[in-house]
Structures are given as C-alpha cells and as structure tokens.
Amino acid sequence: MRKVTNLIVGCGLSGVVLAERLASQKHEEVLIIDRRNHIGGNVYDYKDKETGITVHQYGPHVFHTNNKEVWDYLSNFTEWHRFMYRVKAVIDGIEVNIPFNLDSLHKVFPQSLANKLETKLLKKFGFNQKVPILQLRQSNDSDLEFLAQYIYEKVFLGYTIKQWGVKPEDLDASVSGRVPVYISRDDRYFQDRYQALPLNGYTAMIKNILNNPLIKVELNTDFASIRNNIEYDRLFFSGAIDEYFNYELGKLPYRSLDIMFKIHNCNYLQSGPQINYPENYDYTRSVEYKYYLDEKSDKTIVSYEYPYSYEEGKHERYYPIPDKANQDLYDRYVAKAKELKNVWFVGRLGDYKYYNMDQTVSRALELFKEI
Ligand code: UDP
C-alpha cells in the first residue's frame, strides 16, 4: 500500500493552487495526479507548431478578477500581458458589441427607434447599469419588452440552445446573467479591475506553481486505478463528484465541446478575438488566438466550438449545467461527501459550479486556510 500525506486528484487550477499552498506553507509532501497527459486541466495552452501562435486547447480562457488576493497570488507565478477582452456577435449579419450595449442598440435599429429605446432604458435602469436579459423581458413597458424580445431572440436564444441544448429560462438565471445587457458605451466583455493573460501562457504559469520539490506530479494516472492501493492523510478531489461516488445517486450532467482549430492563410481573419454566432452556423463562437498575446505570424489560427451533451468515457467535461434538478442531485452528493473526514471536493467538477478561473483560485486559497 502506497502512503502519501496529501493526494490531489486533478492538475487543473484548483489542484495546483492547493498543492503549492501545502508545499510552500505547510512544508508537506503532495502527490498530484491527472488522468490526462498534461498539466493545467482545462486552462492548458500550447504553441501551435505551424503558426507559433499560443492556443487554448479547451477553449478561450481570459483571466479577469476584482479579487486582489487572487491577482497577487497568481502574479507570483507569471508576468502578465494586459488585455481587455472584446467580443462581438453577428446578429442580422451585423457585428455588434457583446454584452449588448448602447452602441449595439444604435447599430441594429433606425436612429429614431434607437433614441427612444435608449431614453427609456436610461430612465428605467440608469446609465452604466447591467440588466440580465430575463429581467429586461419583464419590463412592463411595451417598447422595452419589444427590445428585450429582440435581444433575447437575436443574442441569447440561438446561442443558448446550441450551447446548452435548452432555452435561457430553463437554466439558472445566473447563466444568461453572465452576459447582461449593459446600458453603457463600455464595449469590454468584463469590467473587472484586473484583466490579463499569463505572458508566457497558462501552462507555463501552472508549471511555475508546481515548481516545488515537495510536489510530485504523475500524469496519465486515473484515480480509479490507484484508489484501492493508496493511503493518504488528506485527499483533495477536483474531478467530478458523481464519479468519485461511482454515480451511486445518479449521473450529474455536463456540457462538452468539440473545438476545431483551423489555420487560415492570412494575417488576420476576424475583426477581433471572439465572434459569437447566435443565429448562424452550428458552432457558437470563433476565437482568433493571435489577438490574445498579440503574437505575429503570416498565418492565423481560429477555433470553432461545437457544443454537445457530455457522455462518460467519450468526452471531456467542460461545464456543469446549473439548474434546479441538477443542484438537488449535487446537494445529495454533498451530503455524502460530508460523511468523509479527510476528503475535500474543489473546482468546477468537484463543486459542480460554473466557476470562472478567479473563483476557482479563490476557492482553493480559502479552503487551504480552513484545513
Ligand atoms: N450567451 C448568449 N449569447 C452570447 C453570449 C453568451 O446567449 O452571445 C449566453 C449563453 O447561454 C452562454 C452564457 O451566456 O452560455 C455565458 O456566456 P459566457 O461567454 O460567459 O460563456 P463561457 O465563456 O463561460 O463559455
């Protein structure tokens, strides 16, 4: 029987932050395993061989946070490339800012109508306010309801059906609420104080976080294949909580993605780093990675995301699906988890939460303070 002090399952952000804290602050040994053949979990990136451009294998990860502690912590392990993300969606064939803002309004409507809607929005909600689309739909004003219906249909409905397989109102309101209507001229995707990408990529940052002689990394190692042959003082599990319990209470659903990378023989293909397609095509969005780190190449590489429902053994898990039934099932797993003395669940899959990267890091830092 192998014995370790700390076993961490999953080499993504949650796992590596916990490993680093345990090694550097408690001076304890950590074994961190991952079933994949690389570190970093879904933040893993690499330089594409043909173009030399850094791409995110599991889709776009743009770091943003208001949490100074998280920002300062990660800054120990990377230099930053300051970068404010800008996203457009093609609606009615026109590229408009996402979040849909006052400029988007003026792009899609005739001036008189846009002016009238802008005045009503300002009066009802005020300037610089963010209004979730599901809330805007309940405006009790026929003009604002018309606007809400337009944005709902053109920006949210098609995209959400592609992305999640259901309508926005069939998911927890926080999902569509991530991208509210923004009564502003600010065309950035995020308004957080700190917005940046690791200058040398996420994988390099993760490597630095793991750079401690007390941390041992074992890749291509499935927890299931070692769990009966290993003893630990503590286990931190960032895999899927339902899988840990062998799906005893039933399977939690996840969404997955097929991401197709295509090299184009031109300098730039798109007007900006990310274009969403709520109405057209089978993919949700296309991402042109050379914009991210402002990398230079004669060619460009663009990814196209095709979402589908996760099937065990076939796909990678990308997103928990936040709705009432799934939350109830997850809560029942949490009750079982509470019976375990030395096991903690973390991360998007362990906590079954649609975390952003900064929330993942924050959760790991807070958990470390509690143990
Ligand atoms: N969304 C949408 N249209 C858009 C952008 C977002 O309907 O143009 C909705 C969609 O349901 C999406 C959710 O808002 O899944 C969250 O979007 P976000 O960009 O935060 O998704 P992520 O980058 O996490 O995949």
| 238 plus 359 within the same structural domain | yes
The count of domains in the chain is: 2
Any domain includes 345:
yes
Does the pLDDT at position 154 exceed 90? Answer: yes
Q: What are 280-339's pLDDT values in tens digits? A: 999 999 999 999 999 999 999 999 999 999 999 889 999 999 999 999 999 999 999 999
98 lines ligand 1 (CB under 6 A): yes
**Percent of the chain clearing pLDDT 70 (strictly above):** 100
| 142 plus 219 within the same structural domain | no
Any domain includes 360:
yes
Nearest-atom number in ligand 1 for the CA of 163 is 15
Any domain includes 148:
yes
| 14 plus 149 within the same structural domain | no
Residues 276 and 159: their CA atoms lie apart, in Å, by 8
Predicted local confidence at residue 313, as pLDDT: 86
Q: Of 295, 277, 296, which is closest to residue 286 (Cα–Cα)?
A: 277
What are 356's two structure tokens? 């952003």
What average pLDDT does the chain have? Answer: 98
Predicted local confidence at residue 322, as pLDDT: 96
Any domain includes 264:
no
Within 13 Å of residue 45, how many CA atoms lie on the same side as its CB? 26
Any domain includes 287:
no
DSSP letter for 141, please: S
Residue pair 121/144 in contact (Cβ under 8 Å)? The answer is yes
> pLDDT class for 136, splitting at 50, 70, 90?
very high
Does the pLDDT at position 16 exceed 90? Answer: yes
Does the pLDDT at position 97 exceed 90? Answer: yes
What are 344's two structure tokens? 């903690």
| 173 plus 112 within the same structural domain | yes
Tell how far the Cα of 278 is from the centroid of ligand 1, in angstroms: 10
- Across the range 337-354, mean pLDDT stands at 97
Name which residue sits closest to atom 23 of ligand 1, judged by CA: 60
Residues 163 and 161: their CA atoms lie apart, in Å, by 6
Predicted local confidence at residue 353, as pLDDT: 98
> pLDDT class for 265, splitting at 50, 70, 90?
very high
159 lines ligand 1 (CB under 6 A): yes
Residue pair 266/312 in contact (Cβ under 8 Å)? The answer is no
Any domain includes 281:
no
Residues 6+ apart with CB under 8 A from 237: 9, 10, 223, 244, 343, 344, 345, 346, 350
Any domain includes 247:
yes
Any domain includes 280:
no
Tell how far the Cα of 30 is from the centroid of ligand 1, in angstroms: 36
The CATH number of whichever domain residue 334 belongs to comes to 3.40.50.720
276 lines ligand 1 (CB under 6 A): yes
What are 142's two structure tokens? 């026929």
55 lines ligand 1 (CB under 6 A): no
Q: Residue 6 belongs to what domain range? A: 2-81+196-254+320-370
Q: What are 66-75's pLDDT values in tens digits? A: 999 999 999 9
Predicted local confidence at residue 275, as pLDDT: 98
